[in-house]
Amino acid sequence: MDDLLADFLTETNEGLQSLDGALLSLERNPDDPAVLAEVFRTIHTIKGTCGFLGLPRLEKVAHAAENVLGRWREGSLPVTAAGISLILRAVDRIKAIVAGLESAGAEPAGDDAEMIALLDAAFRGEEVAVDGPAAPPQAEAPAPVAAVAEPEPAPAAAAPQPAAAAQPPAQPTEAGPGNAPQTIRVAVDVLEDLMVLVSELVLTRNQLMQLARTETNSAFSVPLQRLSQITSDLQDGVMKTRMQPIGSAWQKLPRLVRDLSHDLGKKIILEQHGAETELDRQVMELIKDPLTHMVRNSADHGLEGPEERRAAGKPETGRITLNAYHEGGHIVMEIGDDGRGLSTARISEKVIRQGLATEAEIASMSEQEIHRFIFRPGFSTAAAITSVSGRGVGMDVVKTNLERIGGIVELRSREGRGTTFTIKIPLTLAIAAALIVESAGERFAIPQNSVLELVRVGDGDGPKIEMIKSTPVMRLRDRLLPLVNLSRLLALQDQPVAAGGSSFVVVSQVGSQVFGIMVDRVFDTEEIVVKPVAPILRDVTMFSGNTILGDGSVIMILDPNGIARGTGLGVETNGEAAATLTAATRSAESRDHTAVLLFRAGEGAPKAVPLGLIARLEDLPAERIEQAGDSLVVQYRGSLMPLIPLSGYGAVMPAPGSKQAVLVFGDGAHSMGLMVDEILDVMETQLVIDGAGARQGFLGSSVIADKVTEVLDCAYWLHQGGADWFSATAKAKEVTRKPRVLLVEDSSFFRNLVVPALSAAGYAITGLPNPREALRLREAGEMFDIILSDINMPEMDGLQFVRAIRDGGPWQELPVIALSAQAEPDDVEAGREAGFTDYVAKYDRDALIGALTQAIELQVFARSIDSPV
């Protein structure tokens, strides 16, 4: 193949890659002259060059298509859906001819008379019927070249652009200020070889730096530091040549969705967000097929037909959404639809019928665990096999391919509302930062982007290892983490872990599961070159590769995904190990469970308070406590903090030489100490409060750890410590029903204050820290009866939040009550104009309970009017 033909094929492939998207954009906006001009120009260029190179078959098809486009551009023919379908079929024919030309060096034989006749008929203005969607395009040939920008990438044009490998060559320009950066074509193989050389340079740099650390005052220290900096800059530069916008992996999806829409008789639109997000070209090639399959699944399985959607109260047009964004060292992609969602009952039935689990095991699983059976090989809930799907050979391949590159796939689904798949993959597979650790005398690397934090356990007052049924766990802040003993997992030693032992814990996360990896020693973080794992070790899923350290040692790279599966933390794994390890964290992840502090104060039952309200636990020496009038105070962090005794007696000084246990409540400038007798424990529990017979200062009683326990009314005691905490406080009225209430409040203090109080008043309440998480719940199909929202919040305030709710969607008609410290008439009016139903000042619990009760009564009244008698 001569150079002229090679250049023609390269430029033609570049133009064809953007044609599908441009034609679909033209179908949505027929009056857009810029898009029409782009399509016409691409076809015209192909036709003109064909004549010069002597490619008659390609020239005839392109010429016939150009004639139709010319009539559209002149305005003498309207742009129609049938016309777009015909041009798409012509583009597919051009792609097929170009693919044959590329493989054989000459035009393949074929008859295009029928295609040209249809195009000529459309040119004459005759109505042309196109049966079904265009033929599927040929497999995309690997791009032979990539574009490298000097000194920076060219700015994006107004029309959608493909990947860096598909950028047209820059026109020659005279150098000078204000001119666009010039680009050159470089073969992809050259870039890959350059990447390998840079990887080896990084290894050599690491070895030299390791040698320099062993010598003090070496004359090589300064040059080595400079070499290290240059190597890092060179590495970054080479990595940028491999980065491409993820939109290039999405180019074929709009055409795919359009064809599926015709095939399935459904109305579907595809929304794309974050197409400019960049990731490694190698990773992008590996995710194209999984992406395509998940979009096909959403169109076929997920979205309903127009009649079914109308019957469900949904718009006829289904929506598939693609979203991509950076998160740490990963790319996160979400593929969602607003369709029928996954049927838990149907999946359970199929699981039991295939013998994948028993009825008892299914009954003990959460909905999310049951849904993940769709990733099992051969599993499908489709009623019939179609040309699109139904054979059960898709989602398991998606999951396997993603895990092969260190990625994970999660799903969340709500029946009748839709399904969203979330893919998390590394930005690059070549060079990564890693934490070097040691276990049983062997060193390993853990990818830095898998490490949430590093905790030392066993010494001092910090976290300690505890045992639950011979399984080590660690209590870290507000949750209990299962621990994985790395040495036992890899059979390096078989010594049981003792509670209270000293070691390091690397806290990692796989999907929604957070766990700790126990290691003996932690070294530095290094940039490592990832080498593929040897074939003999590929069945050992705990390893994702190996690398060479600066001292020449070869070590294995740990794969947290494989560790999770190997220890039973993966949700697809059943058995006693999984049950034991997940039991410790299941309650912490459940919305129905609350972390509480148990203590004693005075006679009678133990007391409890939500742990989230406690700022600190103090053991104050009696000498620090002073009396001011009838009150006790302590000098605490530069100010006087009032101390309120809880034992039922007045302000009595503790005995000299003794210590006083104090629960410190703090929020901003406010602080107050509650004097108690003894701290008992911290635990997770389902806080079901019985308010019958509750005495002053308590919400009621709950059974915690098999004992009747009184739950504090924190608002009452905070009022005793200072009237400026709230404007009013009182006991909540009893409410017989349990409506669902969503609380959006950025202050964790007030969130933890309101949740138990409203729970005691008979409401099922969910608290979230910001409106964006609330809107994600709306997209997932969660429903509530009432929404409570703070007004002043960072990122998105309450007024913006309520406007987003009122713009449309399932929450559009819900009562939304504003909570704010500002309750002036102007504030109330602004809130009502934005869409708030009511306005309650913080923390007036009487007013809040009254507003909730009124909103519920109005909903019941409205339903009674709408319901037929």
Asked whether residue 734 carries a pLDDT value surpassing 60, the answer given is no
**Residue 495: its pLDDT value, please?**
55
CATH no. of 3-123:
1.20.120.160
Asked whether residue 461 carries a pLDDT value surpassing 70, the answer given is no
**Residue 434: its pLDDT value, please?**
83
pLDDT, the chain, mean? 75
Q: Which of 49-53, 193-197, 623-627, 832-836 has the lowest mean pLDDT?
A: 49-53
Q: For CATH 3.30.565.10, list the domain ranges present in the chain.
A: 251-426
State in words which class domain 431-589 has: mainly beta
Q: Which of 496-505, 537-546, 565-574, 829-838 has the lowest mean pLDDT?
A: 565-574
Q: d(Cα 805, Cα 508) in Å, to the nearest integer?
A: 35
Asked whether residue 737 carries a pLDDT value surpassing 70, the answer given is no
Q: For CATH 2.40.50.180, list the domain ranges present in the chain.
A: 431-589, 594-721
**Residue 321: its pLDDT value, please?**
92
Q: d(Cα 668, Cα 637) in Å, to the nearest integer?
A: 13
What are the angstrom distances between the C-alpha of 48 and each of 42, 51, 52, 74, 268?
A: 10, 6, 7, 20, 36
Residues 6 or more apart whose CB falls under 8 angstroms from that of 470 comprise 496
Name the band, by pLDDT with cuts 50, 70 and 90, for residue 320. very high
∠ CA 20-26-28, nearest 5°, is 110
Task: Given CATH 2.40.50.180, say whether it is the number of domain 594-721.
Answer: yes
**Residue 589: its pLDDT value, please?**
38
pLDDT (tens digit, 9 = 90+) per residue, 480-529?
788 888 888 888 865 555 544 567 888 887 766 788 888 888 887 877 77
Residue 591: burial class (beta carbons within 10 Å; 0-12, 13-18, 19+):
exposed
Mean pLDDT on 627-647: 79
**Residue 582: its pLDDT value, please?**
43
- What does the block give as tokens for 431? 């060079």
Residue 317: burial class (beta carbons within 10 Å; 0-12, 13-18, 19+):
middle
- What does the block give as tokens for 620? 């104050």
Asked whether residue 146 carries a pLDDT value surpassing 50, the answer given is no
Q: d(Cα 662, Cα 232) in Å, to the nearest integer?
A: 52
Whether 73 and 60 have beta carbons less than 8 Å apart is answered as no
**Residue 135: its pLDDT value, please?**
42
Q: d(Cα 304, Cα 635) in Å, to the nearest integer?
A: 66
Asked whether residue 181 carries a pLDDT value surpassing 70, the answer given is no
Asked whether residue 387 carries a pLDDT value surpassing 60, the answer given is no
Whether 572 and 375 have beta carbons less than 8 Å apart is answered as yes
Percentage, residues of the chain above pLDDT 90: 1
Name the band, by pLDDT with cuts 50, 70 and 90, for residue 251. confident
CATH fold of 251-426, please? Heat Shock Protein 90 (3.30.565)
Q: Which of 106-115, 131-140, 321-330 has the lowest mean pLDDT?
A: 131-140
Name the band, by pLDDT with cuts 50, 70 and 90, for residue 165. very low
Residues 6 or more apart whose CB falls under 8 angstroms from that of 113 comprise none
Asked whether residue 702 carries a pLDDT value surpassing 80, the answer given is yes
Q: Report yes or no on whether pTM surpasses 0.75.
A: no
Q: d(Cα 722, Cα 569) in Å, to the nearest integer?
A: 47
Asked whether residue 587 carries a pLDDT value surpassing 50, the answer given is no
Q: For CATH 1.20.120.160, list the domain ranges present in the chain.
A: 3-123
Asked whether residue 216 carries a pLDDT value surpassing 80, the answer given is no
Task: Given CATH 3.40.50.2300, say whether it is the number of domain 740-866.
Answer: yes
